[in-house]
Amino acid sequence: MSEKLEARWTDIKVTFETGKHAGKPIEVIMFEDPGYLYWYSKQESFSKLRPVLQKKIRYIVELADSLRIPGYCRECNHKRPRRMIFRMQSPKELQHVNFVCEDCDPGNTAGVISSNPTFNYVDVLAGKNIHNVNVFIEAIVKAYWKKPWRMLTQREMILFWKNKGHFYPKGKIGISL
Ligand SMILES: [Zn+2]
């Protein structure tokens, strides 16, 4: 697909017709309830959605899995953090999320390390734990905007996915650029 065509296609507002996020842009749902999109994309009923909706969800999920977190490793100040570290304050409660380089592994981590920054939070955070989801999204939003995610407008959320600088190109995740 040429870049021009792709740009035009991604401009189309595609939404669920039913369900708890009916009428909401997919770009916004990824911020408000990312687990829903990951979960839905793995359901059997996914293949019954309108093709344009399937395509849009896959597209946003793919971008959400290839975040190019701006700034520095929170441990050593090297540029471009490559991993995401979840610190738990109790076995089920997320305290905060850090972005660190490939070399840093803070010894006092009580939690989980993901190999690359992504909206796809791991099982320990998944599902209905609103507190954990909020902490998690907050960390990603702060890295890009330096403000709480609840202050983002829908327009800002939509524009986020259009900025190619926010993501690694396909196949380049984890490779030093
Ligand atoms: Zn580091």
- Asked whether the beta carbons of 57 and 26 are under 8 A apart, the reply is yes
Nearest Cα to Cα of residue 27 among 41, 12, 17: 12
**CA 26–ligand 1 middle distance (angstroms):** 33
CA–centroid distance, 143 to ligand 1, in Å, is 16
Q: Which residues of the chain have pLDDT under 50?
A: 175-177
pLDDT at res. 9? 65
Q: How far is the CA of 101 from the centre of ligand 1 (A)?
A: 4
pTM of the predicted structure, to 2 decimals:
0.85
Q: How many angstroms does the Cα of residue 142 sit away from the middle of ligand 1?
A: 18
Q: Say if residues 97 and 46 touch (Cβ distance below 8 Å).
A: no
* pLDDT for res 126: 57
Between the CA of 86 and the centroid of ligand 1 the distance, in Å, is: 15
Average pLDDT along the chain: 83
Q: What pLDDT is attached to residue 176?
A: 44
According to the model, what pLDDT value does residue 175 have?
A: 47
What is residue 146's predicted lDDT score, i.e. its pLDDT? 87
